[in-house]
């Protein structure tokens, strides 16, 4: 029986609750698929600060480096807001991304038919939307040098440097083409090559890589136009690849049009390692109440099955189970509407497990 080692970083706030739901679902997947998961927990974020004095202990890094994949809940909360920036919980997340060299951030944007009325867009515009924004995660203005606030001729000057190497661009573009090949075979590359030399290099590398994937339809959009087209024609996109700062903005826009932040998973991929986490935060205001929506974390676990563990059928069935449960009207408080069935975290998790069993047997 195959054994997959998963590093589990519960984090803060509702992290332990939603991670608990995902582990229950994964255990059921293992039972049905005849595979074994070895879950090993470690600290990150505020809980690590409280117990170890640092948001990212060395033993957490070592565990993640030895695992087949990493599943993370959420980090942060007002308890740690007064700490210096370099010691805050969020530094743990940035640190683990760097330690694992996770350069491709995948943010799916899927509009579920049962929740279509939650989108701020008209039903006929948003219906059928199902695309992924792939954001380069380790370069661009967030990491380029020089950076900082300096004094020149008695005046303060703020500097951030937009910088990409050819290799940094090529690896995320190549991964995006590969993912597009497994989906609808359409890739949209987003840049600002009409004014930025960095984007000129970006577009050139994309064109070079496209020759290796002749079956993928390639579209180039300037970032401002892409932002508009995501609102005008979201269902026309399949895979969008772009740099760090543009991806930061566009993935948040994509999340909003789905209408349900609590439904959205994410994956951060490298060549060897990968980390999976929900898009939403730690929600300390509802922590411990048992009402958090576990779906984003469960779907993140589904992405782990697909991208890291090669369990494609299992991932497909898990995603179908979530959609079927929504069609049956089950809702946690954050997505509840009149006429649906309100359930807590445990109730939603149990419903998804039940549906997964039904689909597996069917």
pLDDT at res. 86: 81
Tens digits of per-residue pLDDT, 274-299? Answer: 999 999 999 999 999 999 999 999 99
Taking the CA atoms of 41, 43, 47 and 53 in sequence, report the sign of the dihedral they define. Answer: positive
293's tokens: 């929506």
pLDDT at res. 260: 79
362 pLDDT above the threshold of 80: no
pLDDT at res. 262: 80
- Predicted TM-score (pTM) of the model is 0.92
User: Distance between alpha carbon 351 and the CA centroid of its chain, in Å?
Assistant: 23
Tens digits of per-residue pLDDT, 326-339? Answer: 999 999 999 988 88
267's tokens: 């994956």
Angstrom distances, CA of residue 292 to CA of 16, 243, 342, 349: 11, 32, 12, 11
Q: Which residues fall within 8 angstroms of residue 2, CB to CB, at 6 or more apart?
A: 35, 36
pLDDT at res. 124: 96
| Residues tagged active-site | 142, 192, 224, 248, 252
Q: Please state which of the ranges 17-21, 84-88, 170-174, 310-314 shows the lowest mean pLDDT.
A: 84-88
pLDDT at res. 214: 98
Q: Of 42, 38, 41, 43, nearest to 5 (Cα)?
A: 38
Tens digits of per-residue pLDDT, 97-153? Answer: 989 999 999 999 999 999 999 899 999 999 999 999 999 999 999 889 999 999 999
Mean predicted lDDT score pLDDT of the chain:
95
Tens digits of per-residue pLDDT, 167-184? Answer: 999 999 999 999 999 999
pLDDT at res. 1: 73
Tens digits of per-residue pLDDT, 245-270? Answer: 999 999 999 999 998 778 999 999 99
Delineate the domains of the chain, giving CATH numbers in brackets: 1-108+264-362 (3.40.718.10)
Q: Which residues fall within 8 angstroms of residue 156, CB to CB, at 6 or more apart?
A: 149, 150
- Asked if the bond preceding 146 is cis, omega within 30° of 0, the reply is yes
């Amino acid at each position: 029986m195959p054994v997959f080692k998963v590093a589990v970083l519960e984090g803060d706030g509702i992290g332990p609750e939603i991670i608990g739901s995902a582990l229950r679902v994964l255990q059921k997947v293992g039972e049905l698929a005849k595979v074994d998961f070895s879950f090993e927990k470690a600290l990150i974020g505020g809980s690590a600060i409280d117990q170890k004095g640092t948001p990212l202990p060395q033993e957490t890094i070592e565990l993640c480096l030895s695992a087949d994949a990493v599943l993370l809940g959420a980090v942060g909360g007002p308890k740690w807001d007064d700490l210096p920036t370099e010691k805050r919980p969020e530094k743990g997340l940035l640190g683990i991304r760097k330690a694992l060299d996770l350069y491709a951030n995948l943010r799916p944007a899927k509009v579920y038919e049962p929740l279509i009325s939650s989108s701020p867009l008209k039903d006929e515009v948003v219906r059928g939307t199902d695309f992924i924004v792939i954001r380069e995660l380790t370069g661009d203005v967030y990491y380029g040098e020089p950076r900082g606030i300096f004094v020149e001729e008695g005046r303060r000057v703020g500097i951030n440097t937009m910088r990409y190497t050819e290799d940094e661009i090529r690896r995320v573009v190549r991964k995006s083409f590969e993912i597009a090949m497994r989906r609808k075979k359409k890739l949209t590359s987003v840049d600002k090559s009409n004014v930025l030399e960095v984007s000129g290099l970006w577009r050139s590398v994309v064109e070079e890589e496209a020759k290796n994937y002749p079956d993928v339809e390639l579209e180039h959009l300037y970032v401002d136009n892409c932002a508009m087209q995501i609102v005008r024609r979201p269902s026309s996109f399949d895979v969008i690849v772009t740099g760090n700062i543009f991806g930061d903005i566009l993935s948040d826009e994509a999340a909003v049009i789905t209408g349900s932040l609590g439904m959205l998973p994410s994956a951060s991929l490298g060549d060897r390692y990968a980390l999976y986490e929900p898009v939403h935060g730690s929600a300390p205001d509802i922590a411990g109440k048992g009402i958090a929506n576990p779906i984003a974390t469960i779907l993140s676990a589904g992405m782990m099955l697909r991208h890291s563990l090669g369990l494609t059928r299992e991932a497909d069935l898990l995603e179908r189970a979530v959609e079927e449960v929504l069609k049956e009207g089950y809702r946690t408080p954050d997505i509840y509407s009149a006429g649906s069935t309100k359930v807590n975290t445990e109730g939603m998790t149990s419903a998804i497990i039940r549906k997964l069993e039904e689909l597996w047997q069917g």
